[in-house]
Amino acid sequence: MHIAYLSPAWPPRGAANGVVTYVSVIRDYLLREGHDVSVLSQGMLHRADGSTHALDAPGAMPFWSRMAARIDRRLGHHPFTGRRMADQWRRARGVAAFDLIEMEESFGWCDTVRRRVDVPVVTRLHGPQFLKPTGGDTVTSPAHARDRERAEARAIRLAGALSAPTGVILDATRTRYRAALGKVIPNPVASVAPRDRWRLDACNRDMILCVGRLDRLKGADTMLAAFAQLLARRPTARLTMVGPDGGYVRADGTTIAFAEHAAATFDPATLSRVTFAGLLDRDAIAALRRQAFVTVVASACENFPYAAVEAMAAGSPLVTTDWLGAAEIVTDGTTGWLTPVGDAPAMAERLAWLFERPDAAAHAGAQGWLRCREDFGVERVGARMVDFYREILARHRS
């Protein structure tokens, strides 16, 4: 088979995006199994042989381009961007004879592509707009969010093939949009060699690691509030936060840099024990996971976050908020711990409890590593994905 994926960025190194990680992991598996893979990203088609091909039509009229961009800025689902993407996919078919396209549901563009390209399109649920809490997104206005949800609703209802990484996400989406049956297939995670796994005797027992964009949606404010409370019980604790500054939406609707919010909200003594590491590549993050005593995911909303699953795959103890679907990934008290979304005191209490029980942390880390190997490992998940693609292609041919 030749599978084509849409990715927000490519190549994946240094990209802070779960979809990019997903495409990278499943692509590597498919190539190892003898399949062909192409990736469309930002108007460029990236072939498995390393070649790249520009897909935008040359000589577009500046006036119409400006008009399309103006309309897209006014509408939250950016319809002209979707049409441009569909045209790119059509040109890509002239470069690579792929059998199937997989892309996320965002903005409903998958339906635009489905109606304009003569191959099956798999809609992969990576985070429908309706699941995102209001007020947490620094980019999307309420009007744009409504436009986007309407477009995604249509695309999901009309999708010829639908998949999701957790059952609860798929069920919630099907219930809301009366969508057709879909397949639950978790996101695959690459296995971590024993020599690169987290070890209690090699970590810094005062260090907390939090990986994620610094904004309310990813729970950076919850993480800092929990850490401030934790210091009263463990004053030697340190926090490292990895991720770009996504901005902070204030109560009046205005947006400021998250660093500015942190400086105005938390005292200097607390912030002196916090390292804002910025955007790091995968190798640097992996090294921090081995160094930290515990990894925290504090998000208000997630789908199947690699920040959590990669921590488990490395054997790192994990504390995460109980976003929709979290319990399908983390067994509370066995492979990690769940705390209520936005509940900083509960998170601080759990972290304090864990610091006093390093053996429990080590046991959960080992169980998380085993869970990833058995249920989320790329070989097992990749085989399920290949079977799913073959089912779709067989149905398309018939």
Which domains does the chain possess? 2-188+377-397 (3.40.50.2000), 194-376 (3.40.50.2000)
Q: Higher-confidence residue: 129 or 234? A: 234
Q: Is 0.85 topped by the overall pTM?
A: yes
Task: Tell me the residue length of the chain.
Answer: 398
Indicate the pLDDT class of residue 70, thresholds 50, 70 and 90. Answer: confident
Identify the pLDDT of residue 45: 97
Instruction: With CA atoms as reference, report the closest residue to 210 among 184, 242, 235, 232.
Output: 242
pLDDT in tens, 73-105: 888 888 889 999 999 999 999 999 999 999 999
Task: Identify the band that residue 256 occupies on the pLDDT scale cut at 50, 70 and 90.
Answer: very high
Share of the chain above pLDDT 90, in %: 80
Residue 214 has pLDDT above 60, yes or no: yes
pLDDT tens track for 274-300: 999 999 988 999 999 999 999 999 999
Rounded average pLDDT over 7-11: 94
* pLDDT number for residue 59: 61
Is it the case that residue 229 has pLDDT exceeding 60? yes
HEC-encoded secondary structure of the chain: CEEEEECCCCCCCCCCCHHHHHHHHHHHHHHHCCCEEEEEECCEEECCCCCEEECCCCCCCHHHHHHHHHHHHHCCCCHHHHHHHHHHHHHHHHHCCCCEEEEECHHHHHHHHHCCCCCCEEEECCCCHHHCCCCCCCCCCHHHHHHHHHHHHHHHHCCCEEEECCHHHHHHHHHHHCCCCCEECCCCECCCCHHHCCCHHHCEEEEEEEECCECCCCCHHHHHHHHHHHCCCCCCCEEEEECCECCEECCCCCEECHHHHHHHHCCHHHHCCEEEEECCCHHHHHHHHHHEEEEEECCCCCCCCHHHHHHHHCCCCEEEECCCCHHHCCCECCCEEEECCCCHHHHHHHHHHHHCCHHHHHHHHHHHHHHHHHHHEHHHHHHHHHHHHHHHHHHHHC
Q: What is the mean pLDDT of the chain?
A: 92
What average pLDDT does this structure show over 121-131?
92
Per-residue model confidence (pLDDT) at position 255: 87
Res 251: pLDDT: 78
pLDDT at 64 over 70: no
What is the Cα–Cα distance from 115 to 126, expressed in whole angstroms?
21
Are 295 and 311 contacting, i.e. CB atoms less than 8 angstroms apart? Answer: yes
Give me the mean pLDDT over the 168-173 stretch.
Answer: 94
Express each pLDDT in 127-138 by its tens digit: 898 888 865 555
Span 270-274, average pLDDT: 97
